[in-house]
Amino acid sequence: MKILAISGGRALGNNELLLRAALKAAREVYPAQVELVRLHDLDLKRCVGCETCMRGLTTGGDGKCVIQDDDMGWLTRQIGGADALLVASPVYDLIPTGSMVNLVNRALGIGKQFQAQCRANPKVGAVIALGGSDWINLTEPVIDLTLCNLSKSAVVVDRLIVGHNPAPAMVVLDDAVMERARLLGRRVAQALLKREAGQPFGYEGEAGVCPVCHCNLLEMRGGGQVACPYCDARGRLAAVDGQVRVEWDADSVEKNRFTVYGETEHRKDIGLGHRRAAEHREIIQERARALDDFGGAVIRPERQG
């Protein structure tokens, strides 16, 4: 068994130290091989928005990214060889680091074949994110998305999202947070033991509002309708015993965004958009040309050499 940890922060910074504590605790429960990858050590080019991956996924192709001359292929191979995947990132103004956001963009082009391999043998997953203050609310769904796009159908068994540690490595002063990281590691190892024994395993962390992904964010959709902005489970607000609660729609819970059904519907939607664009290509070109002169200029920095 192998546990792979991916860090989006600085070497030996707060998030890497939390990862190390989790990995050490995991090995005390199960003697797995553990490896840690720092995104700062990798050459990962940014997504250019060319849509090649999505066009491939919606037209029967493999959906691989056109960028093949960087370290994404190497990282994919490391993920493919792991049984558990941990992802950690600092929180910068509510969201994970730019390197982590770039990773989730690039994960769109990881390839249909690799996605199928992950779905056939779901990995154990866990996420960690630590920020300097309480500006951490939006990080959880983004970092969850990173892990689940890197390894489809991964079962996230725990997540640790905390703030108030702005200085490098100062998290070691917080005994409660360090112990919480160790608990996360133990939960990962216990899930691996269950996986090896053919037993079911699932989420062990703090229950959030959403019954699918445990996200605490809700999107108001009018008329008392709400939805989880991450997995799109839907429900209706109701007052029960003087308390506001959500009565969740069972069908949307079962067919959330991250099921095979949800992903298939998403690709159908993208495919319809591309077909509409193809049918109106000449109109698009004509109207786009009309904006060649927008009354200004595109400017670029001057570079030497």
Residue 288 has pLDDT above 90, yes or no: yes
Q: Is residue 14 part of a domain?
A: yes
What are 251-272's pLDDT values in tens digits? 999 999 999 999 999 989 999 9
Do 20 and 145 belong together in one domain?
A: yes
pLDDT tens, residue by residue, 175-217: 999 999 999 999 999 999 999 999 999 999 998 899 999 999 9
Domain count, the chain: 2
Dump pLDDT digits (tens) for 64-113.
999 999 999 999 999 999 999 999 999 998 999 999 999 999 998 999 89
Q: Which of 168, 196, 224 delimits the end of a domain?
A: 196
Domain of residue 65: give its range. Answer: 2-196
Do 11 and 114 fall within a single domain?
Answer: yes
Q: 268 and 121, same structural domain?
A: no
Q: Does residue 187 sit in the same domain as residue 265?
A: no
Mean pLDDT check: name the lowest of 44-53, 55-64, 102-111, 227-236: 55-64
The verdict on 175 and 72 lying in the same domain is: yes
Domain match, 45 and 132 both: yes
pLDDT at 293 over 90: yes
Residue from 144, 61, 138 nearest 107 by CA = 144
| Phi, psi dihedrals of residue 87, rounded to the nearest 5° | -130, 130
Same domain, 189 and 274: no
pTM comes to 0.92
Q: Is residue 177 part of a domain?
A: yes
248 within a domain of the structure (yes/no): no
Encode pLDDT of 10-52 as tens digits.
Answer: 999 999 999 999 999 999 999 999 999 999 999 999 999 998 8
CATH of the domain at 153: 3.40.50.360
> Looking at residue 305, what is its pLDDT?
66
Tell me: do 160 and 269 sit in the same domain: no
Question: Based on the domain organization, do 180 and 96 belong to the same domain?
Answer: yes
In the prediction, which pLDDT does 61 show? 87
Cβ-proximal residues to 274 (8 Å cutoff; 6+ apart), any chain: 51, 54, 55, 58
| Model pLDDT for residues 152-175, shown as the tens digit of each residue | 999 999 999 999 999 999 999 999
Q: Are residues 180 and 266 in the same domain?
A: no
272 and 184 together in one domain: no
Q: Looking at residues 116-143, what average pLDDT do you find?
A: 93
Among 23, 22, 19, smallest CA distance to 11 is for 19
Do 264 and 179 belong together in one domain? Answer: no
Domain assignment present for 31: yes
Rounded CA-CA distance 38/16 in Å is 9
